[in-house]
Structure 1
């Protein structure tokens, strides 16, 4: 009976890694595409991109004519008046003419008194304005174009960060799932040990203390399984959160990452963070051009067509709206500052300093990204070495168990020591599994640092 138990335990531990071997699939890439499509953050940024595109369209219309319709009506009573002595001037002349012609063709007229403020006055016009020369409008269009580039680059940065987060969450999920499998396998062996030891004790072939140790080990493994299951549940919830779906949806495991087939090389990509800074520099250059454009004149044209006068004339039976007071007005405007006590020059200096600061920031960020890439590469290589060391520990633990098994058969080792050997194998396999997924986590960080993931796949 004892030989049967040892054979079962030995075969189970030595063949345990075989459960990792199953058909390879590419579930993770599908999950990444799902996350990129459903991400709320990316949707928000896409709306911001559309906003920037509309802003460019608005900027392009600033060189086109603007037509508006304006009308005002005003009336007043009182106020200052101006007197015209028309009667005093013309009545003597009219009187003389009437005497000479012996007619009454020239009647007497009264003096006129008109108030200065308008009474019953209207002004209605269509006004058209159009800039002819304005450097600020030209540079503003360039800024809007750069803002579109900036938003597009921001979306790319967020996509790369999301890819890294999804991969890291997935590897953590696989890590917790495999830990459960290892613990469950160990628990299965301990259950079998408990059953066999009960039989051996009943037959007087084993000490009862063996059973106590076995049950203590079972209790410990059960608590480890409970903790691992909670870790798996939390890892699944976070992964589903990144995919913007229900937290309880099951996750399919990609067997590609359960093997030690690590990548040896990685392609160098281009960090969009540098593009963001370069776009910011381009925007500030256009702002500098705007601030320097105060030296250039602004020329515009305007055309007004309408009618103004006493409102009572509108209702004359033989007059339309624009008669008899219709008018048109053409104008050209010319604007250039002559002296502003140095305000414009100070604005230029401020923008130049901001531009110089951004150029230095670009150099600093480039060095930081190079450092990040180097550190990520070192971490990846270190993780691989740790995994190889853990693999050696598994091999050593297996050899130690085989030696313990041989000595136990020869009666030179008690069951407690054999159980310790079994525990060492479980611990070594668990550490190897965790080390494997740590390698993949470091790989995800390295891939992010080098911006090598193809976002267009």
Structure 2
């Protein structure tokens, strides 16, 4: 979770761009239906599929940035301090070579009456390959000069980001359509329930009148039975309508990410009892009236471009790569720059094939 939050902090521009891209889907309703507009926005914020798509888009964008960064020069600092004991040594038998020679020279000098001048107690030299103390501190610069594989990899990552963005648009379009369908479906079910309740009240009054007429002798008993049968039929339909209304409300609540459908507010019915008509939707479907603007096809095009870029990257691996490598620093037994000047610098052209 902390990695995801850090990634969001590192890339706020991507989140803003994604929200701007989804704004047409969230604000697809006219101004007279702010409630549906709020439900659409709530669904876009709380839907787990949308959140997963946003995270996939964010990850793809970060990977594309990392790939583009491979083209830039890299400057780094490297420091090393070493304490060494033992190890291999360079042996030079100085005593074994020069002591006999010096003895011979001294004897010749003594025969001539001159004092001995050459030492005869020289020891063999044993020099370790590793110094007891050693440090090396340097600045390193690495810069690619010719790297065709990096360009192909950048194109592949850009195509993957476009595919993730188009996939997010497809998910948003589908979610908005389902929310609208559930919203107006629940409104129709609620209005139908109201109509049946009104019909039941009318039939109950008709049954009462039929009973009064039967008592007064102006109607037969069959009219009472017929009125009772009609009211029972309406009550049966009313029970089914109530179950349908509950199911429609639960479906809308599920799309909104809610556990309880009690707080949902649906459009009110017209005065004649008919449900409020769904407003014309000039949303994403109206904007995508041409085949070329469909996000589904945009996602396919991005996938094709990504596959072609992968092929180009495979072919680019056969080409040579040329890069620049430069180092500058100090080395020696201690951290000091004195008259001996322990600083060094190297510049190299590196060819890899």
- Equivalent-residue separation in structure 2 for 1:186 and 1:292 (angstroms): 75
Q: Following TM superposition, by how much is the alpha carbon of 1:335 offset from its aligned partner in structure 2, in angstroms?
A: 1.2
Matches within 5 A, 1:285-324: 285-306=308-329, 313-314=333-334, 320=336
Corresponding residue pairs, total: 303
- Equivalent-residue separation in structure 2 for 1:326 and 1:87 (angstroms): 36
- Does structure 1 residue 251 correspond to structure 2 residue 265? yes
Aligned 8 A contact 2:50 2:172 in 1: yes
- Equivalent-residue separation in structure 1 for 2:279 and 2:346 (angstroms): 82
Corresponding residue SS for 1:250: coil
- Does structure 1 residue 162 correspond to structure 2 residue 175? yes
- Equivalent-residue separation in structure 2 for 1:51 and 1:111 (angstroms): 65
Corresponding residue SS for 2:145: strand
Q: 1:149-187 CA distances to partner (integer Å, 9 max, x unpaired)? A: 222211211111012111221232122123212312221
Aligned 8 A contact 2:330 2:344 in 1: yes
- Does structure 1 residue 50 correspond to structure 2 residue 70? no
Matches within 5 A, 1:27-66: 28-29=36-37, 31-63=39-71, 64-66=73-75
Q: Which of the pair has the greater relative contact order for Cα pairs under 8 Å at 6+ separation?
A: 2
Matches within 5 A, 1:9-28: 25-26=32-33, 28=36
Q: 1:225-251 CA distances to partner (integer Å, 9 max, x unpaired)? A: 122112112211221332334522232
- Equivalent-residue separation in structure 2 for 1:59 and 1:259 (angstroms): 51
Corresponding residue SS for 1:282: helix
- Does structure 1 residue 71 correspond to structure 2 residue 80? yes
Q: 1:105-140 CA distances to partner (integer Å, 9 max, x unpaired)? A: 978531113456x36354534343332221111222
Q: 1:254-282 CA distances to partner (integer Å, 9 max, x unpaired)? A: 7697459999xx77243211111111111
Corresponding residue SS for 1:58: helix
- Equivalent-residue separation in structure 2 for 1:144 and 1:103 (angstroms): 83
- Equivalent-residue separation in structure 2 for 1:296 and 1:61 (angstroms): 21
Aligned 8 A contact 2:102 2:118 in 1: no
Could you list the runs of 5+ residues in structure 2 that have no partner in the other structure?
1-30
Aligned twin of 1:272? 295
- Equivalent-residue separation in structure 2 for 1:204 and 1:110 (angstroms): 147
Question: In 2 relative to 1, CA 261–241 (structure 1 residues): closer, same or farther, beyond 3 Å?
Answer: closer
Question: In 2 relative to 1, CA 30–305 (structure 1 residues): closer, same or farther, beyond 3 Å?
Answer: closer
Aligned 8 A contact 2:141 2:325 in 1: yes
Q: 1:357-404 CA distances to partner (integer Å, 9 max, x unpaired)? A: xxxxxxxxxxxxxxxxxxxxxxxxxxxxxxxxxxxxxxxxxxxxxxxx
Q: 1:50-72 CA distances to partner (integer Å, 9 max, x unpaired)? A: 33332222222212224142426
Q: CA RMSD in A?
A: 3.8
Aligned twin of 1:111? 124
Normalising by structure 2, what TM-score?
Answer: 0.71
Corresponding residue SS for 1:295: coil
Q: 1:273-304 CA distances to partner (integer Å, 9 max, x unpaired)? A: 11111111111111111111123211223233
- Equivalent-residue separation in structure 2 for 1:44 and 1:326 (angstroms): 53
- Equivalent-residue separation in structure 2 for 1:33 and 1:255 (angstroms): 24
Matches within 5 A, 1:417-428: none
Aligned twin of 1:189? 202
Q: 1:75-127 CA distances to partner (integer Å, 9 max, x unpaired)? A: 3536x654312234445469959x699796978531113456x3635453434
Q: Following TM superposition, by how much is the alpha carbon of 1:37 offset from its aligned partner in structure 2, in angstroms?
A: 4.8
Aligned twin of 2:352? 335
- Equivalent-residue separation in structure 2 for 1:180 and 1:292 (angstroms): 67
Question: In 2 relative to 1, CA 33–255 (structure 1 residues): closer, same or farther, beyond 3 Å?
Answer: farther
Question: In 2 relative to 1, CA 56–122 (structure 1 residues): closer, same or farther, beyond 3 Å?
Answer: same
Corresponding residue SS for 1:129: strand
Corresponding residue SS for 2:142: strand
